[in-house]
Amino acid sequence: MQTRKLGNSNLEVSAIGLGCMGMSFSYGPSMDKQEAIALIRAAVDRGVTFFDTAEVYGPFTNEELVGEALAPFRNQVAIATKFGFKPAANDESRWSELDSRPEHIKEVVEGSLKRLKVEAIDLLYQHRVDPNVPIEDVAGAVKELIEDGKVKHFGLSEAGAQTIRRAHAVQPVTALQSEYSLWWREPEAQILPTLEALGIGFVPFSPLGKGFLTGKITENTTLDQSDFRNTIPRFVPEARKANQALVDLLSTIAQRKQATPAQIALAWLLAQKPWIVPIPGTTKLHRLEENIEAVSVELMPDDLRDINDAASRIEIQGARYPEKMEQLIDR
């Protein structure tokens, strides 16, 4: 497995990480715990050293899963987790309320350390920017946690360029985690130039378009009723039908390169910048292996030009989130 450094930091991880959320949250029923542990350990065996979780996934159960699975490999891997939400006052199963007050951050970290079975969190992200708490206060709280030895690196998620700069001035930001793929390219306008200028790494989540870019989801696919993609405008059948054009493009390039559409989508991301580390998630071993093998797919300048030229003529249909979730994105 190739490795990459996240920006100017000393955090070096596998070129492709593993997003663990879907093992216990959002994408239908949770995996059997022992099967999930086996899958995470299979990723370690295959060279993956970067694992992503969050307090809110479950909530709590995903951190516990990742902590148990990676306990035997603690010195070989980097675990990223996140703070920034709290249970809704009237429904503790809902975690849509933001809370990045410094005292809350420190409280959350204590819980995450226990669940992850670690003495220090390798990379701690603010999950979403809290408009009620100055980002300088957030960065200052994480700076103190780093000084206390409880956190090693500071990250942001779905933060805008101005917020990134303000946070970085207080405590250097190691990585930004935001959505980025061939079907969500908004970060290219402001975010990528900002990260490059500041020496910050980029960790794209949903690098396979929440599974759509694999080519395994069509307009006729029925998702489990607990799958959150049922709430996403981009996943209504009409949008899936229209967006199939992008999958067809990936399939054409994949045939040329003797690869799969998913591998082309990941290889395209890896080719954008040397400090980009995508974190595709999966619940299946063969998909894990397929994703990992994307690091061996080399897209030449002609390939990249063909992909960009063709993709520029495809207008992706449907919003990427319901309006309520879009309101949590900092721009």
Catalytic residues: 57
In eight-state DSSP terms, residue 121 is B
Distance CA 122, CA 77 (A): 9
Interatomic CA distance for residues 231 and 234, integer angstroms: 9
- Alpha carbons 162 and 202: distance in angstroms, whole number: 16
Rounded CA-CA distance 321/135 in Å is: 24
Residues 6+ apart with CB under 8 A from 92: none
Q: Can you tell me whether residue 235 is helix, strand or coil?
A: helix
Rounded CA gap, 182 and 152, in Å? 31
Omega into 72 within 30° of 0, i.e. cis?
no
- The two tokens of residue 187 are 């970060």
Cα dihedral 115, 292, 218, 305 sign: positive
Both tokens of 228, joined, read 């959150």
| Angle at which helices 33-45 and 61-70 cross, to 10° | 50
